[in-house]
């Protein structure tokens, strides 16, 4: 496989990315901030289901993966020949060495210490000797490919259950304070904004 790396302004990111995939047979396309790691780096945040804030960075690096060198070369040649390509440049056209991509992905994930005796451990790692409680949890590959649950959701649910159980063991007759009303907030998220409670101690 070969990858083609282009530098272009934000105004060209969407059109070039679509052309690479739809017309020039790129296997994948990614966009990164050309100024990442410098004082000029810009953060872009987006939410699922919401419009993207911007199509790219003021100076964007677009990396396209191709099955072979000929396809990558042809894509670069055709793009640079366009009238609107004056502000675009080719940074690299290089071979991507074949690797064991599964092992490479796995190498990024090490056991996570929750407490000295409680660890979250991927199946390809041995649990630390001090671990008395171990959750075997393999990171997924859903990011960028579709809907996914956060890997920490299982731990969060367990923690929440402990909190509720301990709270209910100490308090009874939990109720909204007389004369008060609960308030919600809605929008991109939905949740309780104001919940005045009173209770009786056990």
**In this predicted structure, what is the pLDDT of residue 66?**
95
Q: CB atoms < 10 A from the CB of 47, how many?
A: 10
Given a cut of 60, whether residue 196 has pLDDT beyond it is: yes
State the average pLDDT over residues 110-127. Answer: 90
Domains delineated in the chain:
2-95 (3.30.70), 100-151 (1.20.5), 157-202 (no CATH)
Highest mean pLDDT among 66-80, 141-155, 172-186 belongs to 66-80
**In this predicted structure, what is the pLDDT of residue 158?**
86
**pTM summary value:** 0.55
**In this predicted structure, what is the pLDDT of residue 34?**
93
Q: 21 in helix, strand or coil?
A: helix
**In this predicted structure, what is the pLDDT of residue 93?**
96
Given a cut of 70, whether residue 88 has pLDDT beyond it is: yes
State the average pLDDT over residues 136-165. Answer: 73
**In this predicted structure, what is the pLDDT of residue 145?**
47
Q: 30 in helix, strand or coil?
A: strand
The answer to whether 6 and 15 are in contact (CB under 8 A) is: no
Q: CB atoms < 10 A from the CB of 2, how many?
A: 19
Q: Tell the residue number behind the tokens 């987006």, with chain if given.
A: 46
* Residues contacting 30, CB < 8 A, separation 6+: 62, 63
Buried-exposed string 74-111: b where 16+ CB fall within 10 A, e elsewhere = ebbeebeeeeeeeebebeebeeeeeeeeeeeebeebee
State the average pLDDT over residues 99-110. Answer: 82
Of the listed ranges 110-114, 134-138, 172-176, the one predicted with least confidence:
134-138
Given a cut of 60, whether residue 157 has pLDDT beyond it is: yes
Of the listed ranges 9-18, 123-132, 137-146, 148-157, the one predicted with least confidence:
137-146
* CA-based nearest residue to 142, from 150, 154, 134: 150
Q: Tell the residue number behind the tokens 């709270």, with chain if given.
A: 167
Which DSSP letter does residue 165 get?
Answer: H
State the average pLDDT over residues 175-180. Answer: 92
């Amino acid at each position: 496989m070969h990858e083609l790396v282009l530098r272009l302004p934000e105004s060209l990111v969407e059109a070039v990315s679509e052309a690479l995939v739809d017309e020039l047979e790129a296997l994948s396309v990614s966009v990164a901030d050309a100024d990442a790691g410098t004082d000029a780096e810009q953060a872009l945040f987006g939410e699922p289901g919401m419009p993207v804030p911007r199509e790219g960075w003021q100076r964007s690096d677009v990396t396209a993966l191709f099955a072979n060198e000929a396809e990558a070369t042809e894509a670069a040649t055709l793009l640079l020949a366009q009238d609107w390509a004056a502000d675009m440049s080719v940074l690299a056209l290089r071979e991507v060495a074949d690797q064991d991509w599964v092992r490479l992905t796995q190498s990024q994930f090490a056991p996570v210490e929750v407490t000295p005796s409680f660890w979250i451990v991927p199946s390809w790692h041995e649990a630390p000797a001090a671990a008395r409680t171990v959750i075997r949890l393999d990171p997924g590959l859903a990011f960028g490919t579709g809907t996914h649950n956060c890997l920490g959701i299982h731990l969060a649910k367990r923690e929440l259950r402990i909190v509720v159980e301990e709270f209910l063991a100490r308090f009874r007759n939990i109720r909204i304070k007389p004369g008060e009303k609960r308030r919600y907030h809605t929008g991109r998220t939905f949740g309780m904004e104001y919940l005045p409670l009173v209770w009786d101690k056990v």
